Amino acid sequence: MQPLAAMAGPDDPDQGMARVLNIEEPWIENAVYLSSSRDNNASRGHAWNFGNEWDAALGTDWGTEIDAPILLATQPIGRAPSALAPISAGLKYVPIHWGDGDSENAGVIGGEIEGGWWATPQPANFPGVGSSVTEQMLVGIRHGTYWIQGQYGITQRVSADARTGWSANTSVGHRISEDWVIQLELDLNRTSVDAYGHTAAGMVLTPQVGWQINPRWQMVLGESLSRIEGVASLDSITSVLFEYSFDTDKDDPN
């Protein structure tokens, strides 16, 4: 087993944990994320999305987030509807944190309020997407090489095409070596849209693997099974996320 000191420096903001595909990181950091998520049912109308996320620390306890630009696309790419997603901005406050990347136990608990505005809504092509405000609690707790992360919140619609509802996303993770982690994520929500355009409950289960390419770059790859209330079939979704950290303690000594 790798010593904790090999996993992260004493000032490493992620506290020795790793980013999860669909859960907002609960720590404060300076980083950018690039992501892609593709529905493996390639028939016409199924999704293939691309996104960016920009995170900036405003101090030890405060941080900001901007999600833009994000491309919503449907297959076949270039011959089916596509659009720029709502531009989102968030303010994060993390008043509770203990331990660090070197300690046996570490954790962070905080919250975030995030608002999204869609300048050019297309509810017929992208049902359930729209302008909204989300308040959520963020949790990350680690013991040794194991951890749990969570994101629990309420979304309030601002435009008629968005959905009001709750979400509860939880993951468990384990570092199997200095560079590799495995995680299992379960996402539950009441903001999905069924085949008739009604608000419905949704569930997504995502096994995933993370690779610390170097001190600044990380990749996360996952394969999801998604189910929406009232829809008989399961969807399979492949997602990949790349993180680049700007935090100075990530510098490679080599």
166 bridge partner residues: 154
Question: What pLDDT score was predicted for residue 2?
Answer: 37
Q: What are the residue boundaries of the structural domains of the chain, listed by start?
A: 4-250
Model pLDDT for residues 215-245, shown as the tens digit of each residue:
999 999 999 999 999 887 889 999 999 999 9
Percent of the chain with pLDDT over 90: 77
Fold of 4-250: Porin (2.40.160)
Model pLDDT for residues 144-187, shown as the tens digit of each residue:
999 999 999 999 999 988 999 999 999 999 999 999 999 999 99
Q: How confident is the model at residue 16 (pLDDT cuts 50, 70, 90)?
A: very high
Model pLDDT for residues 50-76, shown as the tens digit of each residue:
999 999 999 999 999 999 999 999 888
Question: Average of pLDDT values for 113-129?
Answer: 92
Of residues 190 and 247, the one with the higher pLDDT is: 190
Report the length, in residues, of the chain: 254
- In sequence order, the 6+-apart residues with CB closer than 8 A to the CB of 252 are 214, 215, 216
- What are the Cα distances from residue 10, in Å, to 200, 207, 234? 44, 29, 43
- What are the Cα distances from residue 32, in Å, to 67, 242, 244? 10, 8, 5
Q: How confident is the model at residue 1 (pLDDT cuts 50, 70, 90)?
A: very low
d(CA 146, CA 106): 11
| CB-CB contact of 188 with 203 (8 Å) | yes
**Side chain identity at residue 170, one-letter code:** T
Kindly write down the DSSP assignment for every residue of 32-47, as one continuous string: EEEEEEEES--STT-B
